[in-house]
Structure 1
Amino acid sequence: MAAASAWGDAVPPSAALAPTGAAVPAGVSAVGLLDARLSGWYREDTGELFRGVPIGADDVVVDVGCGAGVNSVFCVRHGARVIALDRQPRLLREVRRGLAAADARAATALAACAERLPLRDGVATRLVCTELLQHVDDPRQLLAELYRVGGVGALYLLSVPDARQEALQQQALPPDYLEQPGARRVIGRDAFAQLVTDAGLTVLEHTQYGFFWSIWWALFPACGVELDDPAHPVLDHWVATWHALLQTPQGRQLQQRLDRFLPLSQVIVARKSGVRAQDRHADPEDTTDAAA
């Protein structure tokens, strides 16, 4: 998943990319993946990237701001044609490796600016844009591009960090990080829903997830470890505590309540229901915009 905190991707790609039946690394990756799946992500049995967003062989998925490609790889494993877009060459190289490992023959990873997608109108049946709207200069322009690229009836999976989690991070992050330029936008829950509806989309579900990660990221700065090897007693104890909680009879119910109270991110599933005058219908096999 592209969910992220101020420190980077919240779900280690090695966990979320694990195919059905594969061994998942122990520790934070395994517990993070379990938490995500209980929250609605990566439903291998139903082929849903997130609940209400099924992925299949008839789908063209456009993943904008694809990051390490976790969502893109899930989609190609479930038969979709995928166009993964990001502006960072390093991330695109990682995406291509992930797609190659998934034996994706109908997938493309392209460098692109989110505010001007190099795709024709109406080509996508599924559009994924996670943890990106808070970073761009004009979220409305990005949403307008997402609307343009989606076909009638297309499903949209959108997420941004939750404002409460952002406030927590402000207390946990070291001063030198807070002094860095380029602070990102904080998008409240009402504002997020308004942005999506103003873009012409119909909101089907607006929910939150990731209390587990909110606490993990709040603890992380104090541990003095690197993100690629986050072994530390404080973090390990938190991971073990959360995993034990999820095994209790009331654990899932408590997870849902805490996810609403202090989530890592908020998620909107939306649909493009109508046709605007400027919408055109293109050959779904011809996805790129020759003028871009």
Structure 2
Amino acid sequence: MLSLLKKLTAGTPAPAQPVTPEVAVVDKVDPFQLGLFDATLSGWFNQQTNELFPGFLISPEDTVLDVGCGDGGNVHFCGMRGAKIVIADIDAAKVESTRQRLGDTPARDIECHVTDCNPLPIADGTATRVVSTEVIEHVDDPAQFLAELARVGKPGALYLLSVPHPSSENLQKGIAAPEYFEKPNHIRIITEEQFKAMVSDAGLEVLSHSQYGFYWSMWMLLFWESGVDLGNADHPMLNSWAETWQKVLDSPRGAQIKSALDAVVAKSQVIIARKPLAE
């Protein structure tokens, strides 16, 4: 910079024009793509091991049932592994969009149900893999819902179940919009002990219980404060948080920091369970 200034001023009778420094253009961090990346760091969507989540392997021989399929991210991963896919959701539009999304996968079969899951219109012992993420906190009768999930699994079937972690839910209290904790949204906060008991009482064996999602917990907290719409969540606070978290993950000890924070405030808790083999 000093040599540049000398060249600009040497032998010039008029004062040198000020030099405007170049400002690097930084690509905006997509908070949802960052959230997906953060999830993969927690073990989701492992393309090397074909595990949807650690301990939940998907193979072409599996029949995967996703109850409350939402936007279909989980079953798309399973469909890419060639499994048979069965989806069920109360929202017909989500079922249809997920069906279309599965069209570009090598899933060996696709079966769709629009249902409130009470009961599930699915035969006993249908699935080798049962997925239901962020659903139980919405239903009126968790015991009945889990009994249905247990019924439709084959003996030995694996279950991937998740609900919001109480650390994140309690953080949202008094800040989230009132409807966040009203039907049809989150009508209960489920503790770790309650979650394990619910799954065990349904006759399933809990194999693992973990948590993740500090990034999303903080993002949601800032989302309520930002006042923007979820479909267009563009706000300086949200953008700054995504940029900060990206820098954290890129730092030398980013994974260690993420793990420590996930252990303190987590968006979700995840149980892998198994249906006992028939005696």
Query: With structure 1 as the length reference, what TM-score do the two structures score?
Result: 0.81
* 1:70-101 residue CA offsets vs partner (Å, 9 max, x unmatched): 11111101111000000111211221221124
| The one of 230, 238, 243 aligned to 1:235 | 238
Indicate the residue corresponding to 1:122 in structure 2: 125
Q: CA deviation at 1:229?
A: 2.1
Gaps of 5+ in 1: 1-24, 277-292
Matched, 1:71 2:93: no
Indicate the residue corresponding to 2:216 in structure 1: 213
* 1:236-266 residue CA offsets vs partner (Å, 9 max, x unmatched): 1111111111112221112112112110010
| The one of 18, 35, 38 aligned to 1:35 | 38
* 1:129-170 residue CA offsets vs partner (Å, 9 max, x unmatched): 111111111111111111111111111000001112111111
| The one of 57, 78, 83 aligned to 1:80 | 83
Q: CA deviation at 1:187?
A: 0.8
- Which structure: larger Rg? 2
The answer (yes or no) to whether the contact 2:58–2:83 under 8 Å persists in 1 is: yes
For residue 159 of structure 1, what is the amino acid of its counterpart?
Answer: S
Indicate the residue corresponding to 1:202 in structure 2: 205
The answer (yes or no) to whether the contact 1:62–1:82 under 8 Å persists in 2 is: yes
Matched, 1:247 2:250: yes
* 1:169-210 residue CA offsets vs partner (Å, 9 max, x unmatched): 1132145x3685555111110000011111111111100010
The answer (yes or no) to whether the contact 1:214–1:262 under 8 Å persists in 2 is: yes
Once residues 193 and 257 of structure 2 are traced to their aligned partners in structure 1, the CA distance between those partners, rounded to angstroms, is 24
The answer (yes or no) to whether the contact 2:82–2:108 under 8 Å persists in 1 is: no
- Give percent identity, aligned residues only: 44
Indicate the residue corresponding to 1:131 in structure 2: 134
| The one of 106, 109, 117 aligned to 2:109 | 106
Matched, 1:48 2:57: no
* Equivalent residues, number: 251
| 3-state SS of 1:228 partner | helix
- Structure number with the bigger relative contact order (C-alpha 8 A, sep ≥ 6) is 1
Once residues 214 and 42 of structure 2 are traced to their aligned partners in structure 1, the CA distance between those partners, rounded to angstroms, is 10
| The one of 249, 266, 269 aligned to 1:266 | 269
After the TM superposition, which of the residue ranges 91-100 and 257-266 deviates more from structure 2?
91-100
Once residues 273 and 179 of structure 1 are traced to their aligned partners in structure 2, the CA distance between those partners, rounded to angstroms, is 35
Gaps of 5+ in 2: 1-27
For residue 237 of structure 1, what is the amino acid of its counterpart?
Answer: S
Deviation beyond 6 Å, 4+ runs, structure 1: none
Once residues 259 and 26 of structure 1 are traced to their aligned partners in structure 2, the CA distance between those partners, rounded to angstroms, is 21
For residue 122 of structure 1, what is the amino acid of its counterpart?
Answer: G
Q: CA deviation at 1:102?
A: 3.3
Indicate the residue corresponding to 1:222 in structure 2: 225
Aligned CA-pair RMSD: 1.8
Query: With structure 2 as the length reference, what TM-score do the two structures score?
Result: 0.85
Alignment of 1:180-199 (within 5 A): 184-199=187-202
Q: CA deviation at 1:220?
A: 0.5
Indicate the residue corresponding to 1:94 in structure 2: 97
